[in-house]
Every structure is written in C-alpha cells, then in structure tokens.
C-alpha cells in the first residue's frame, strides 16, 4: 500500500472536514427551513437553526465589521500555521482537522457573514451552546494536538 505524503494527508483531511461540514450545514438548513427544531434524542439532542456572528460559542458576537475581518484573517492564519506545523513533524491529519474546521466556518463567514450552528445537546434546562461539524473538528483536533504534544519525547 502506498504511503500518503504529509502534505497530501493534511489537505485530504482538511478537504474532507470542509466538505462534510458544508454538506451537513446545507442539509440541516434545508431540513429546518420547513420545520422547527428536530428532536433526535428526546431530552438530550436536537437539530436547531442558530446563526452565530461571533466565534466559538458566540464569543465576540457583538463586534462590528472589523471583528468579522479579524475572524477571517485569523481563520486563514490558523490554516497556514497548522499546515506549517504539519510540515514540521506534527500529525498532518490532526492539523488537517483544525484547518478544515477553520475553513468550514470561514466559508460561512464569507457567504453569510456569520456561522450556521445546528447541533444542540442539552439536559433539562442546561444547554451546551449549539455548534457544527467544523467546531467539532477543531475541538477534537486541538485536544489531539495537545495530547500529542504532551506525549512527544522532549527535545534534548
């Protein structure tokens, strides 16, 4: 079996995350355009329509146009940084998860000026802020990135 080169694995992972994120957002936006929230696991999980003008969990949502441009630049910067890190020996698929998530939300910001979130986990009156697949990829990627950093042998 042929080995996939580091840059290819980074780009394949990022592209897969971007495609899955945008496809899921398209599907759920269209599904929920004709209904209200859809309960998938009663009392725990449903699909909702939430437009987030901020960053993770609605942080900085009150910022004006300058904030949106800053988010765009930060997203592009994150993609570049994680590509660089993947070339310098960090796991290319982990870096690709983070970059793909950043690109998924970047596409929303470019086309809509805000990010579409739809995954709503809750228990009774306690709700985790709604999120999407791009957010999940970023979160999982960052956790794996940090775990790999702690488990890597220290330089001599």
Residue 2 has what pLDDT?
Answer: 57
Domains contained in the chain, number: 1
Residue 155 lies in a domain: no
Residue 101 lies in a domain: yes
- What are the residue ranges in the chain where pLDDT is below 70? 1-6, 54-68, 151-156
Q: Which residue in 21, 108, 117, 120 is the catalytic one?
A: 117
Residue 117 has what pLDDT?
Answer: 96
Residue 93 lies in a domain: yes
Backbone dihedral region of 22: left (phi > 0), alpha (psi from -120 to 50 degrees) or beta? alpha
Residue 77 has what pLDDT?
Answer: 95
Residue 154 lies in a domain: no
Domain that holds residue 68: 8-148
Annotated catalytic residue 108: no
Query: Where are the strands (E) in 97-153, listed by range?
Result: 115-123, 126-127
Annotated catalytic residue 135: yes
Strand partners, 131: 119
Strands 115-123 and 45-52 come out as antiparallel
Residue 13 lies in a domain: yes
Q: List the one residue out of 118, 152, 139, 142 whose CA is nearest residue 31.
A: 118
Residues whose CB falls within 8 Å of the CB of residue 89, separated by 6 or more in sequence, listed in order: none
pTM score, two decimals? 0.86
Q: Which residue in 21, 108, 120, 135 is the catalytic one?
A: 135
């Amino acid at each position: 079996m042929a080995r996939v080169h580091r840059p290819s694995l980074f780009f394949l992972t990022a592209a897969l995350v971007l495609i899955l994120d945008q496809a899921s957002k398209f599907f759920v936006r269209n599904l929920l355009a004709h209904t209200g929230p859809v309960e998938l696991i009663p009392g725990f999980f449903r699909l909702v329509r939430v437009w987030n003008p901020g960053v993770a969990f609605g942080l900085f949502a009150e910022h004006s146009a300058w904030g949106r441009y800053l988010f765009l630049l930060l997203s592009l910067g994150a993609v570049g940084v994680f590509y660089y890190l993947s070339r310098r020996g960090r796991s290319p698929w982990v870096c690709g998860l983070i970059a793909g998530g950043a690109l998924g939300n970047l596409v929303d910001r470019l086309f809509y000026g805000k990010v579409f979130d739809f995954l709503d986990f809750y228990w009774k009156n306690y709700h985790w802020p709604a999120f999407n697949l791009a957010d999940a990829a970023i979160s999982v990627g960052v956790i794996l990135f940090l775990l790999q950093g702690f488990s890597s042998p220290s330089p001599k």
